[in-house]
Every structure is written in C-alpha cells, then in structure tokens.
Amino acid sequence: MTTTLDSRQLLAFATLARCGSFTQTAKDLHLTQSAISHAIKALEVDVGVPLFERVGKRVFLTAAGEILRPAAERILRDMHDTRTALEEAGSWGRGRLRVGASVTACQYLLPTVLREFRQSFPDCALRMEPGDGPRMVELLRSNLVDLAIMLEPAKEEGLEFRRLFTDEMRVLVSPMHAWARAGRVSPEAFAKETLIVYNKGSYTDALLAEHLRAAGVELGATMELGSMEAIKELAKVGVGAGVLATWVARREMEEGSLVSLPLPGGKLKRTWGVGHLRGRKLSLAEETFAGLCEAVAQTVDAG
C-alpha cells in the first residue's frame, strides 16, 4: 500500500537540502543532529532511494534528491499557506458566512442587518441563498448554509431555532373595497373574492390553507404571485384581496392606500427566527449576524 510522506521528514529534508549541513539543520529546526539524521534515513528508506551524498561534513543532493526537493518545498509551502488561512478564518472579521433567507426577509429585514454586519466584518465572504421554509431546512441539513432567516418549521429534529418575532397574516384591500367600508370580512364574502397570495406550495400558503380549513372557511379563486410588492399593487387597484403580514405593508397602510383587516376564522400567527444545525457552535461572525437580526427584529411592527 502506498503511504503518504511524513511532513516532519520533508521539513528536515528541505532544510538540509538548503543548508547542506546536519549541524545547521539541527540548529534551524531546534532539534538534535541525531534526530535530523534519523528523519533523513527514515525518509530514504520510505522512498527507497538515497537522497543525499555525504562528503566529509557536507551533504549534497543525489539525482533522486533533486527530484524530491521542489515537490517537498511546494508541499511545505502549501501547508504553511493553509495554516495561515485557517488562522485568519478564526480571527476577527475574516472567514465566510452563508445565509439562507426567504424573499420577504431578504427584502424587508436583511438590508439593515447586512449594512451593520459589513461594518463589523468587512473582509468576511458573505453569500446569500434565497428560498422559502422547506428550502431553508434542506439547505441547513445539507450544510449549504450556516444560518437561515426563516419561519419556524414544523417539528424538525436536528435544528435549533432562535425566535425573532411573531407576526399576523391579514387581509389587505383598497380603501374603496367593500370590506374596508364594512370594517370586517365575512366567511361568505371571503369565499367569493379573488385572493392574491404568495407562491403556492410555500410554508405560508400551507399555514393559510390549514387555518381556513380549521375555521370551516371556503377558499375561492386565487391569484399566485412571487412578489410581495406585486401583491400590494394589485390589492391597491382592487384586483383582489392580498394576504400579507402588515409589517411588509407599513408604508402603504400609513399613506392610506391599503387597509388591513383580520382573516375570517381568527388570527393566523407566524413565528420568524434564525435557524441553524443543532449542537453546532456558531462562529463569531455567525453569532454577530444572529444578534443583529434580533436587534432589527425589535423594530418590526408585526401587529
């Protein structure tokens, strides 16, 4: 069986090739001459050919030694560079951070978090992976992201979830809509209106369907969109009724272009948080990022 070369023997070999003296090599490596001699002999036995010719107190490389020298120096240089990179990865402001986040989080939560994070970790390599709840769980389990800003999933073994805030899904309509004038949404009227919803198959879509089913509320026609902004714009012009959390439509509600009403069947709550693999010790960058998410979450008016 072919074995790998011993790095300590390679270091002794490269140093002796440069110095040409066992005495100087021993001094440079802070070892005894016998230790150097033993390392060189063991390496020669390992590779099966002599690497040095000894002439008096001087040593010279053999043809085989000349072949090994550049390879040994390259290996030792790569090992040094790798150690330096690993040390830098653990130091302040370096390393990488892979974050998964839903489209909503990317648009409404993360801009402030990323700005603050960049100020503290300007040299950290940051990568974002968009996706909804099920996709976030998959990315975490596959170790393709380190953290995920996501809705709390159904019971998932192996994941830790740091709660950020809880919001409520509401019906958003134009102020000219009949529901806005009535101040409520009846189950009967709800079943007749076109509902503008985020992507079918998303975790929020599943929550909404379960909420309406449990309340015995029928769901009428639906229009599926992949953009929160598009949902708001269509609701503004009366194409249908949007279903969103109010914190993503704060500006429109303040200016009066959208009115928020409760869903029929009671309140539908969602919990947002930062997910990561259970038992995994977070790096300084990851802890800082999670802390910034918590700070920004305190400013979210989720009601």
252-271 pLDDT, tens digit each: 999 999 999 999 988 999 99
pLDDT at 161 > cutoff 90: yes
pLDDT at 108 > cutoff 90: no
pLDDT confidence bin for 191, thresholds 50/70/90: confident
Q: Provide the percentage of residues in the chain whose pLDDT is more than 90.
A: 47
Per-residue model confidence as pLDDT tens digits over 38-81: 999 999 999 999 999 988 778 999 999 999 999 999 998 888 77
The DSSP H or E segment spanning 119 is helix 110-120
- Measured CA to CA, the distance from residue 72 to residue 153 in angstroms comes to 51
Q: Give long-range contacts, CB 8 A cutoff, 24+ apart: 137-142.
A: 137/275, 139/100, 140/100, 140/275, 140/276, 140/277, 141/277
pLDDT at 156 > cutoff 60: yes
Q: Do domains 7-89 and 96-164+277-297 have the same CATH topology?
A: no
Sequence ranges of the domains in the chain: 7-89, 96-164+277-297, 165-270
Three-class secondary structure of residue 104 per DSSP: helix
Which class would CATH give 96-164+277-297?
alpha beta
**Which residues lie closer than 8 Å to 87 by C-beta, 6 or more apart?**
none
Strand blocks (E) in 138-267: 147-151, 159-173, 195-198, 222-225, 241-245, 259-262
pLDDT confidence bin for 114, thresholds 50/70/90: very high
pLDDT of residue 252: 94
Q: DSSP state, 282? A: P
Q: Which CATH architecture has domain 7-89?
A: Orthogonal Bundle (1.10)
Of 237, 217, 262, residue with least CA distance to 177: 237
- Measured CA to CA, the distance from residue 220 to residue 196 in angstroms comes to 11
pLDDT of residue 201: 72
Three-class secondary structure of residue 239 per DSSP: coil
CA distances for 51 relative to 54, 72, 76, 200, 278, angstroms = 10, 12, 18, 69, 51
DSSP-assigned beta bridge partners for residue 161: 275
Q: For the full predicted model, state whether its pTM sits above 0.75.
A: no
Q: Are residues 205 and 231 in contact, defined by beta-carbon separation less than 8 angstroms?
A: no
pLDDT of residue 1: 43
Residue 243: which region, alpha, beta or left (left: phi > 0; alpha: psi -120 to 50)? beta
Superfamily holding 165-270: Periplasmic binding protein-like II (3.40.190.10)
Per-residue model confidence as pLDDT tens digits over 193-233: 999 888 777 788 888 888 989 888 888 888 988 788 999 99
Strands 147-151, 125-130: pairing kind: unpaired
